[in-house]
C-alpha cells in the first residue's frame, strides 16, 4: 500500500497568495488550527508580482474620494455585471484592510504630509492605489507572512510549538477535495519534491488558488496557474460563474519572444506613459466608447493637463479600463499600424525625466534592461495584450465566501472566486479584494467549523481513488505527452477563445477541447515520483481542460460583447444579457451551463448613479423600476 501522511486541521487554506494568507490569519485569530498549503514556494504567488498597488478609497490624495465613488467605478469597470454586494463590501472595507496592513508592519509610499500615497490607475476616478513603488505585492505578502510568524511566536509561548496552530505546507499541490456526503471532509495532494502523498482532514476548506492563465500561451501568469481551485470546486459540487470573462491586460511585453506576455504595469500609463502606433500617433483618442465619453479627454492637451490639474480636466484615454485599451491595441495592430514585433509603443521616456522613471518604476526599468536590452528612460517599450486575470470563478455567497452549489464547508476568496469584478476588473481592485474577502472567508470558514456537531469523515475508498488517479500517468506507457497536450490546449484557447471571439470558432474550440479531454485520459509521464514536473503537469491538465471548457461554453452562449468577452458577431452590449450570469457546473463528467438571474442592486446603491448612465446598461424593465424608486 502507498504511504500517506495524515494531518488534522480545523481550517485548510489552499493557496498562499494574499487571499489565502489573509484567510489563514483570520482563521488562526478565531482560534482554529489552520493549515496553509501552497503549490509553489512560500511567498511566491501572483500576489507577490503585483506592481501597481491596492485600490482603497482612503481619500489621501483627493479628499473627494469615498467608498461610493469606488463602488461606482468598480461597477462601471465591470459593466454592471458585478455582484453588487461584493462590490459594496469591497469599496467599504478596503481602507480598513490597508490600514490594518500598516499595523502588521507594511510600509507604503507616503504623501508629502505623511499619509499613505495613492496613485492613478485605469477606471479609478481619483488617485486610489496604495503602493510601494511598483513592488506593492511584495510588501503585501511580506507583511502577511510577518504577521503569520508573529502569531506563530505567540503560539510557541502558549503551546511550546511554533506550528501548534498555524502551519505552512509549501510546494504541496492539492489534487482532490474529499467529501462526506455533501460536506467537505478534507483535501488530498502530494509534496512536489518527494512525490509523497499527504491527506489533510478538515471540515472547512478555503480555496485561494488564484487564476487560470496557463491555458494561454501569451500570459502574464506563471506556471502554477492551471485553474486548480476552479476545478476542485466544480468536482466537489460547487458552481462557477462568469467564466467567459478573461482579462487580457493591454500591455504585456511582445519582444523578445522568450518573454512574450510578461506584464508591463499599468502604472506606466498611470504615471504619464502614452500609447503610440507605428505612425507615432496617440491612437487611444479614437477608441473612447460612448459610455465613457464624458469622463475622458478629447485632446492631447487636455489629457496632459490632467496629470497636474485633475479637477479641471478629463483623464487621458490611455487610462480607460483594460478591456477597452486591449481591444484598441488589437485593432491598431490588425490595421497594419503595429510595431515590428506585433505590438504598439508605450512611451514613458519622452514624458518623464530619466531619474523620475527609475524612481517610480524601478522594476519596469530593470525588466526591460535585463530581458530586452531596452532602456525605457530613452526609448519606447513594445507592448501588446496578454492573458492576465480571470474574472470568473467560484460562485460564492458575497458576505461569507461560502461556495454556492451543493457542497458545505467550502469557501473561496481572491482570484479563484467570481462575481466581484463582473465582466472586467479594474487594476488595483484585486489586491484589495484579496484582503477584504480573504478575511471574510477565513472568518466564516472558522465559524462553520465551530458550528459543526460532528466532523465529516474521509472515506478510505476516496483516498484510494485519489491515489490511483494521481499515480495513473506514471503507470501508463507510451501515452500522450503532457507538454504536447498543454501546447495544443494553448493553441485552441489562444486561437479560438482569445481576445476577439466568433461563433464558428467557439464551436470548433468545443470539438477540439472534447478531443483533448479524451487524450488527457491517456496522458503519461516518464520517470518517478521525486520532483517530476512532467507528472505534475499531467495532473494539472485535467483541471485546465475542464475550466477551459467552461470558458468556451460560456463564451459561445453569451451573445454580446461586454468587458473581458468580445464577440465579433455580437459587437455591442445587450441590456438583456446584463441581467444574466452563466453558471457552470459538473454533471458527472459533463460540463453544464445554466442561466441565472443576477441579484438586483439595492435601492440606495443604484441611486448612486445618474439615470442617463444607467440607461446605457439596464433593460427597460430595470429602468422602470429605477424610475419608480426615484419618483
Site string for ligand FAD, 370-389 (x = CB under 6 A): -------------------x
Q: Count the Cβ atoms, other than its own, within 10 Å of residue 143.
A: 20
What residues are paired with 411 via a beta bridge?
Answer: 206, 402
Which of 32, 46, 269, 440 contacts ligand FAD by CB under 6 A?
46
Which of 65, 125, 155, 224 contacts ligand FAD by CB under 6 A?
224
Cell of 395: 460562485
Instruction: Report CA 477 to chain centroid distance, whole Å.
Output: 37
If one asks whether residue 263 binds ligand FAD (CB under 6 A), the answer comes out as yes
If one asks whether residue 137 binds ligand FAD (CB under 6 A), the answer comes out as yes
Pairing mode, strands 34-37 and 240-241? unpaired
HSE, side-chain direction, 13 A CA sphere, residue 316: 24
CA dist., res. 207 & res. 394, Å (int):
9
Which of 82, 143, 221, 551 contacts ligand FAD by CB under 6 A?
221
Q: Count the Cβ atoms, other than its own, within 10 Å of residue 109.
A: 16
Say whether 126 sits in a helix, a strand or coil. Answer: coil
- From the CB of 380, what's the least distance to ligand FAD, in Å? 20
CA nearest neighbour of 433 among 448, 417, 410, 411: 417
If one asks whether residue 251 binds ligand FAD (CB under 6 A), the answer comes out as no
Which CB atom, from 389 or from 577, has the smaller least distance to ligand FAD? 389
Could you tell me the strand order of the sheet in which 590-597 lies? 393-394, 240-241, 580-587, 590-597
Cell of 55: 485600490
CA dist., res. 598 & res. 580, Å (int):
5
Which of 27, 45, 151, 470 contacts ligand FAD by CB under 6 A?
45
- From the CB of 559, what's the least distance to ligand FAD, in Å? 28
If one asks whether residue 593 binds ligand FAD (CB under 6 A), the answer comes out as no
Stretch in the footprint of ligand FAD (CB under 6 A) among 5-13, 205-213, 477-485, 555-563: 205-213
Phi then psi for 29, rounded to 5 degrees?
-65, -30
If one asks whether residue 127 binds ligand FAD (CB under 6 A), the answer comes out as no
Q: Which residues contact 96 (CB under 8 A, 6 or more apart)?
A: none
CA dist., res. 58 & res. 47, Å (int):
21
Stretch in the footprint of ligand FAD (CB under 6 A) among 148-156, 219-227, 276-284, 311-319: 219-227
- From the CB of 21, what's the least distance to ligand FAD, in Å? 8
If one asks whether residue 545 binds ligand FAD (CB under 6 A), the answer comes out as no
Helix 84-103 × helix 429-451 angle, to 10°: 90
Whether the Cβ atoms of residue 185 and residue 53 lie closer than 8 Å to each other: no
If one asks whether residue 427 binds ligand FAD (CB under 6 A), the answer comes out as yes
If one asks whether residue 271 binds ligand FAD (CB under 6 A), the answer comes out as no
Which of 122, 210, 385, 473 contacts ligand FAD by CB under 6 A?
210
DSSP sequence for 33-88: -EEEE-SS-TT-SHHHH--S-EE----SS-TT--HHHHHHHHHHHTTT-S-HHHHH
Q: Which residues are catalytic?
A: 249, 269
End-to-end Cα, the chain, rounded Å: 72
If one asks whether residue 581 binds ligand FAD (CB under 6 A), the answer comes out as no
- From the CB of 471, what's the least distance to ligand FAD, in Å? 17
Q: Which residues contact 5 (CB under 8 A, 6 or more apart)?
A: 196, 197, 198, 199
Q: Which single residue brings its beta carbon nearest to ligand FAD?
A: 17
User: Peptide bond preceding 76: is omega within 30 degrees of 0, i.e. cis?
Assistant: no
Say whether 193 sits in a helix, a strand or coil. Answer: coil
If one asks whether residue 437 binds ligand FAD (CB under 6 A), the answer comes out as no
Which CB atom, from 102 or from 604, has the smaller least distance to ligand FAD? 102
Binding to ligand FAD (CB under 6 A) within 152-191 occurs at 173-174
Whether the Cβ atoms of residue 209 and residue 413 lie closer than 8 Å to each other: no
Binding to ligand FAD (CB under 6 A) within 2-41 occurs at 14-20, 37-40
Which CB atom, from 20 or from 575, has the smaller least distance to ligand FAD? 20
- From the CB of 284, what's the least distance to ligand FAD, in Å? 20
CA nearest neighbour of 228 among 181, 196, 187, 180: 187
Q: Which residues contact 599 (CB under 8 A, 6 or more apart)?
A: 83, 84, 85
Binding to ligand FAD (CB under 6 A) within 302-361 occurs at none
Which CB atom, from 52 or from 473, has the smaller least distance to ligand FAD? 52
Which CB atom, from 65 or from 228, has the smaller least distance to ligand FAD? 228
Which CB atom, from 229 or from 409, has the smaller least distance to ligand FAD? 229
If one asks whether residue 208 binds ligand FAD (CB under 6 A), the answer comes out as yes
Which of 34, 47, 60, 548 contacts ligand FAD by CB under 6 A?
47
CA dist., res. 91 & res. 293, Å (int):
24
If one asks whether residue 392 binds ligand FAD (CB under 6 A), the answer comes out as no
Size of the site for ligand FAD (CB under 6 A): 43
If one asks whether residue 489 binds ligand FAD (CB under 6 A), the answer comes out as no
Cell of 371: 530581458
If one asks whether residue 470 binds ligand FAD (CB under 6 A), the answer comes out as no
If one asks whether residue 414 binds ligand FAD (CB under 6 A), the answer comes out as yes
What is each CA distance from 214 to 15, 314, 362, 371, 516, in whole angstroms? 17, 37, 27, 21, 16
Which of 27, 49, 89, 545 contacts ligand FAD by CB under 6 A?
49
- From the CB of 618, what's the least distance to ligand FAD, in Å? 28
Whether the Cβ atoms of residue 206 and residue 441 lie closer than 8 Å to each other: yes
If one asks whether residue 403 binds ligand FAD (CB under 6 A), the answer comes out as no
Which of 50, 184, 372, 466 contacts ligand FAD by CB under 6 A?
50
If one asks whether residue 91 binds ligand FAD (CB under 6 A), the answer comes out as no
If one asks whether residue 434 binds ligand FAD (CB under 6 A), the answer comes out as yes
- From the CB of 397, what's the least distance to ligand FAD, in Å? 18
DSSP sequence for 302-326: HHHHHTT-TTTSPBPGGGS-HHHHH
Which of 120, 209, 239, 367 contacts ligand FAD by CB under 6 A?
209
Interface residues with ligand FAD (CB under 6 A)? 14-20, 37-40, 45-47, 49-54, 136-137, 173-174, 208-210, 220-221, 224, 228-229, 263, 389, 414-416, 427-431, 434
Amino acid at each position: 500500500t502507498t504511504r500517506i501522511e495524515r494531518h488534522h486541521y480545523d481550517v485548510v487554506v489552499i493557496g498562499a497568495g494574499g487571499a489565502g494568507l489573509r484567510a489563514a490569519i483570520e482563521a488562526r485569530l478565531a482560534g482554529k488550527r489552520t493549515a496553509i498549503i501552497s503549490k509553489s514556494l512560500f511567498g511566491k504567488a501572483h500576489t507577490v508580482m503585483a506592481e501597481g498597488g491596492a485600490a482603497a478609497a482612503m481619500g489621501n490624495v483627493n479628499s473627494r474620494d469615498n467608498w461610493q465613488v469606488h463602488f461606482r467605478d468598480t461597477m462601471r469597470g465591470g459593466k454592471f455585471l458585478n455582484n453588487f454586494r461584493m462590490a459594496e463590501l469591497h469599496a467599504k472595507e478596503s481602507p480598513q484592510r490597508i490600514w490594518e496592513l500598516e499595523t502588521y508592519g507594511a510600509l507604503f509610499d507616503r504623501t508629502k504630509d505623511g499619509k499613505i500615497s495613492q496613485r492613478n490607475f485605469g477606471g479609478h476616478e481619483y488617485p486610489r492605489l496604495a503602493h510601494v513603488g511598483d513592488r506593492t505585492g511584495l510588501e503585501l505578502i511580506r507583511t502577511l507572512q510577518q504577521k503569520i510568524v508573529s502569531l506563530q511566536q505567540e503560539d510557541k509561548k502558549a503551546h511550546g510549538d511554533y506550528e501548534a496552530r498555524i502551519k505552512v505546507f509549501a510546494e504541496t499541490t492539492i489534487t482532490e477535495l474529499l467529501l462526506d456526503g455533501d460536506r467537505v471532509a478534507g483535501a488530498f495532494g502530494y509534496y512536489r519534491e518527494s512525490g509523497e502523498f499527504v491527506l489533510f482532514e478538515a471540515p472547512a476548506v478555503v480555496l485561494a488558488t488564484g487564476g487560470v492563465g496557463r491555458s494561454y500561451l501569451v500570459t502574464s501568469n506563471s506556471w502554477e496557474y492551471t485553474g486548480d481551485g476552479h476545478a476542485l470546486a466544480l468536482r466537489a459540487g460547487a458552481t462557477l460563474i462568469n467564466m467567459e470573462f478573461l482579462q487580457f491586460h493591454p500591455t504585456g511585453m511582445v519582444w523578445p519572444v522568450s518573454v512574450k506576455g510578461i506584464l508591463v504595469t499599468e502604472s506606466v500609463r498611470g504615471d504619464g506613459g502614452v500609447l503610440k502606433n507605428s505612425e507615432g500617433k496617440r491612437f487611444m483618442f479614437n477608441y473612447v466608447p460612448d459610455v465613457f465619453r464624458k469622463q475622458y479627454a478629447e485632446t492631447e492637451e487636455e489629457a496632459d493637463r490632467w496629470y497636474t490639474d485633475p479637477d479641471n480636466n478629463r483623464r487621458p484615454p490611455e487610462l480607460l479600463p483594460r478591456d477597452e485599451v486591449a481591444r484598441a491595441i488589437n485593432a491598431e495592430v490588425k490595421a497594419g499600424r503595429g510595431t515590428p514585433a506585433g505590438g504598439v509603443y508605450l512611451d514613458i521616456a519622452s514624458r518623464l525625466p530619466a531619474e523620475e522613471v527609475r524612481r517610480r518604476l524601478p522594476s519596469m526599468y530593470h525588466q526591460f534592461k535585463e530581458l530586452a536590452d531596452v532602456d525605457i528612460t530613452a526609448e519606447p517599450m513594445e507592448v501588446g495584450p496578454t492573458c492576465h486575470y480571470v474574472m470568473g470563478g467560484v460562485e460564492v455567497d458575497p458576505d461569507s465566501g461560502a461556495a454556492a452549489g451543493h457542497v458545505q464547508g467550502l469557501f473561496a476568496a481572491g482570484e479563484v472566486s467570481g462575481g466581484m469584478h463582473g465582466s472586467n476588473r479594474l487594476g488595483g481592485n484585486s489586491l484589495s479584494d484579496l484582503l477584504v474577502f480573504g478575511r471574510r472567508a477565513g472568518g466564516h470558514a472558522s465559524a462553520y467549523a465551530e458550528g459543526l456537531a460532528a466532523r465529516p469523515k474521509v472515506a478510505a475508498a476516496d483516498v484510494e481513488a485519489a491515489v490511483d488517479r494521481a499515480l495513473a500517468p506514471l503507470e501508463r506507457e507510451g501515452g500522450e505527452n503532457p507538454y504536447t497536450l498543454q501546447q495544443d490546449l494553448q493553441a485552441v484557447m489562444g486561437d479560438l477563445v482569445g481576445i476577439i471571439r466568433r461563433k464558428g470558432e467557439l464551436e470548433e474550440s468545443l470539438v477540439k477541447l472534447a478531443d483533448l479531454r479524451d487524450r488527457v485520459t491517456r496522458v503519461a509521464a516518464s520517470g518517478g515520483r521525486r520532483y517530476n514536473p512532467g507528472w505534475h503537469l499531467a495532473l494539472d491538465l485535467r483541471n485546465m481542460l475542464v475550466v477551459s471548457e467552461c470558458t468556451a461554453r460560456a463564451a459561445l452562449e453569451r451573445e454580446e460583447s461586454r468587458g473581458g468577452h468580445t464577440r465579433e458577431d455580437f459587437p455591442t452590449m445587450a441590456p438583456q444579457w446584463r441581467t444574466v450570469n452563466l453558471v457552470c457546473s459538473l454533471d458527472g463528467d459533463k460540463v453544464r451551463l445554466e442561466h441565472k438571474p443576477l441579484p438586483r442592486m439595492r435601492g440606495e446603491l443604484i441611486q448612486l448613479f445618474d439615470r442617463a448612465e444607467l440607461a446605457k446598461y439596464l433593460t427597460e424593465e430595470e429602468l422602470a423600476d429605477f424610475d419608480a424608486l426615484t419618483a
